[in-house]
């Protein structure tokens, strides 16, 4: 398939790597440049006498380099891939040398071994005791946070903007001690609301309602449907047994990789990949977590597609998924499944009805025009319906330039108070935002 420079740079871990990768994206700097169907590789002079060996798996995107960098991919991997995207003709067709063949062989063997690995059976009695002890802590923590929310409402919201960092951090820390990390994260989100902006009351109340509803629903979890039980456990912070999940049947499709979002906290990087099934029309979010000192990659490249089988986590509105199997990466096919804004709004209403904690609805929206009015960016459809652009979106002027006054087809996240664009189609070409 043909790779674009934008797709390659989307893999960069940071701006300094992007700059260094571009500097190395010149064929004359490399001692060798070669490729075959599955991989490409090259050698480049480093600081020592032995050149660095860089290799890329093109089937399931992955990098390896002999340089000492801990970044993933490193500047050499980015530089090599950029050359391939710009000038694939400078690569010599060849059989992989031993160091490349060995790496590819290990990747294949690792996948097969992972599939055949026996499932360890935990001690059921000890597991039950641990679960019961944690359940007691969680119920105590939720009871306390219910009172905290009611006290906050009772005392009035006008003083909330004056609250310090500790006002939000202290109850969050107590919830962590109560082994309810999911609820702790919801409390922390209250602290990052922009209280200097007009209209802060709406997102604050929305999140407080979600927290209170969770705190009230969880104690009655045994009386609720299984899908709702799964929702509540996930929200509180119980982890899903992935071995049990992998034992089930998945959903096979050609999945379009439409966006990647990354957040970093305490040296832990969280990557959210947004996928769309070409045949099923299903949306999926695949999460990847890793420590910055030990980067890992799922081989998902924004702006491409892959044949894969996804396993969806249980719930009332299944969105998060796990990749069970994946094969080759390919060019993204053309899409025609764009919906008018009115349909998206109906879909969000349906999602909220089944899962009240829904904050991000991935959607393909057609015919939207960006415009700026009274210090705020909006999107307008052909029926004069409006969407407020999310305050975290930093490419509003670029979006306006791309539109040129004509409606755009967008992929993004429909949220309770806003819309966050993550990609746009321009002249039938998909551009991540």
For 259-281, how does the pLDDT look when each residue is reduced to its tens digit (9 = 90+)?
A: 998 887 777 778 899 999 999 99
Map out the domains of the chain as residue ranges.
5-116, 124-236, 242-331, 341-432
With 70 as the cut, is the pLDDT of residue 119 above it? Answer: no
pLDDT of residue 325: 87
Q: Helices 181-191 and 165-177: crossing angle, nearest 10°?
A: 180
pLDDT of residue 300: 84
pLDDT of residue 310: 96
Closest to 371 (Cα-Cα) out of 343, 340, 404, 346: 404
With 70 as the cut, is the pLDDT of residue 122 above it? Answer: no
pLDDT of residue 49: 84
Q: How far apart are CA 355 and CA 353, in angstroms?
A: 6
Domains 242-331 and 341-432 share a fold: yes
For 371-389, how does the pLDDT look when each residue is reduced to its tens digit (9 = 90+)?
A: 999 889 999 999 999 999 9
User: What mean pLDDT is predicted for residues 82-99?
Assistant: 93
Neighbouring residues of 383: CB distance < 8 A, sequence distance ≥ 6? 340, 341, 342
pLDDT of residue 190: 95
User: What mean pLDDT is predicted for residues 295-314?
Assistant: 86
For 159-182, how does the pLDDT look when each residue is reduced to its tens digit (9 = 90+)?
A: 999 999 899 999 999 999 999 999
With 80 as the cut, is the pLDDT of residue 118 above it? Answer: no
Instruction: Band the pLDDT of 296: cuts 50, 70, 90.
Output: low
* CATH for 242-331, options being 1.20.140, 1.10.3470, 1.10.238, 2.40.50: 2.40.50
* pLDDT over 70, % of the chain: 95
For 204-253, how does the pLDDT look when each residue is reduced to its tens digit (9 = 90+)?
A: 999 999 999 999 999 999 999 999 999 999 999 998 888 888 888 899 99
What's the topology of domain 341-432? OB fold (Dihydrolipoamide Acetyltransferase, E2P) (2.40.50)
Instruction: Band the pLDDT of 48: cuts 50, 70, 90.
Output: confident
Neighbouring residues of 227: CB distance < 8 A, sequence distance ≥ 6? 314, 315, 316
Cis peptide bond N-terminal to 73, omega within 30: yes
Q: How far apart are CA 132 and CA 234, in angstroms?
A: 17
pLDDT of residue 297: 66
pLDDT of residue 316: 95
With 70 as the cut, is the pLDDT of residue 295 above it? Answer: no
pLDDT of residue 369: 95
User: What mean pLDDT is predicted for residues 404-419?
Assistant: 93
In the sheet that 376-380 helps form, which strands lie side by side, from edge to edge? 386-388, 376-380, 361-373, 408-414, 419-426, 429-432
pLDDT of residue 392: 87
Q: What is the pTM of this model?
A: 0.81
With 60 as the cut, is the pLDDT of residue 33 above it? Answer: yes
For 129-143, how does the pLDDT look when each residue is reduced to its tens digit (9 = 90+)?
A: 999 999 999 999 999
* pLDDT over 90, % of the chain: 69
Pick from 7-11, 232-236, 408-412: least confident: 7-11
Query: Count of CB atoms within 10 A of residue 196's CB?
Result: 7
- The rounded mean pLDDT for the chain is 90
Instruction: Band the pLDDT of 294: cuts 50, 70, 90.
Output: low
User: What mean pLDDT is predicted for residues 2-9?
Assistant: 85
Concatenating the DSSP letter of every residue in 328-394 gives: EEEEPPP----B-HHHHHHHHHHHHHH-TT---EEEEEEEEEEEEETTEEEEE-TT--EEEBPTT--
pLDDT of residue 112: 57
For 57-68, how does the pLDDT look when each residue is reduced to its tens digit (9 = 90+)?
A: 988 888 999 999
pLDDT of residue 313: 94
* Sign of the Cα pseudo-torsion (237, 239, 245, 251, in order): positive
């Amino acid at each position: 398939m043909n790779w674009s420079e934008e797709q390659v740079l989307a893999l960069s871990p940071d701006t300094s790597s992007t700059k260094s990768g571009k500097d190395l994206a010149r064929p004359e700097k490399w001692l060798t440049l070669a490729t075959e169907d599955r991989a490409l590789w090259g050698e480049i002079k480093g600081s020592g006498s032995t050149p660095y060996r860089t290799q890329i798996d093109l089937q399931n995107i992955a990098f390896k380099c002999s340089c000492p960098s801990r970044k993933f991919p490193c500047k050499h991997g980015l530089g090599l891939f950029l050359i391939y995207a710009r000038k694939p003709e400078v690569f010599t067709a060849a059989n992989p040398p031993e160091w490349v063949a060995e790496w590819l062989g290990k990747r294949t063997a690792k996948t097969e071994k992972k599939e055949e690995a026996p499932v360890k059976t935990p001690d059921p009695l000890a597991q039950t005791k641990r679960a019961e002890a944690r359940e007691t802590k969680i119920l105590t923590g939720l009871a306390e946070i219910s009172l905290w929310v009611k006290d906050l409402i009772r005392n009035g919201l006008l003083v909330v903007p004056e609250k310090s960092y500790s006002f939000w951090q202290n109850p969050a820390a107590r919830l962590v001690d109560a082994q309810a990390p999911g609820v702790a994260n919801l409390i922390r989100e209250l602290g990052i609301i922009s209280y200097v902006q007009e209209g802060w009351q709406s997102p604050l109340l929305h999140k407080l309602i979600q927290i209170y509803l969770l705190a009230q629903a969880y104690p009655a979890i045994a009386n609720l449907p299984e899908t709702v039980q799964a929702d509540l456990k996930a929200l509180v912070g119980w982890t899903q047994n992935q071995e049990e999940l992998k034992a089930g049947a998945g959903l096979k499709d050609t999945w379009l990789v439409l966006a990647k979002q990354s957040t970093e906290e305490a040296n832990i990087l969280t990557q959210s990949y947004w996928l769309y099934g070409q045949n099923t029309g299903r949306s999926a979010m695949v999460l990847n977590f890793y420590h910055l000192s030990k980067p890992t990659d799922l081989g998902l490249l924004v702006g491409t597609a892959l044949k894969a089988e996804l396993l969806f986590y249980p719930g009332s509105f299944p969105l998060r998924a796990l990749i069970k199997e994946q094969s080759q990466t390919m060019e993204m096919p053309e899409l025609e499944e764009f919906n008018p804004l009115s349909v998206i709004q109906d879909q969000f209403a349906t999602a909220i009805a089944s899962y009240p904690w829904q904050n991000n609805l991935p959607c393909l929206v057609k015919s939207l025009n960006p415009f700026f009015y009274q210090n705020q960016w909006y999107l307008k459809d052909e029926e004069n319906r409006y969407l407020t652009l999310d305050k975290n979106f930093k490419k509003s002027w670029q979006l306006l330039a791309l539109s040129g006054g004509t409606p755009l087809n967008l992929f993004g996240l429909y949220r309770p108070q806003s819309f966050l664009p993550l990609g746009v189609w321009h002249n039938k070409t998909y551009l991540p935002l």
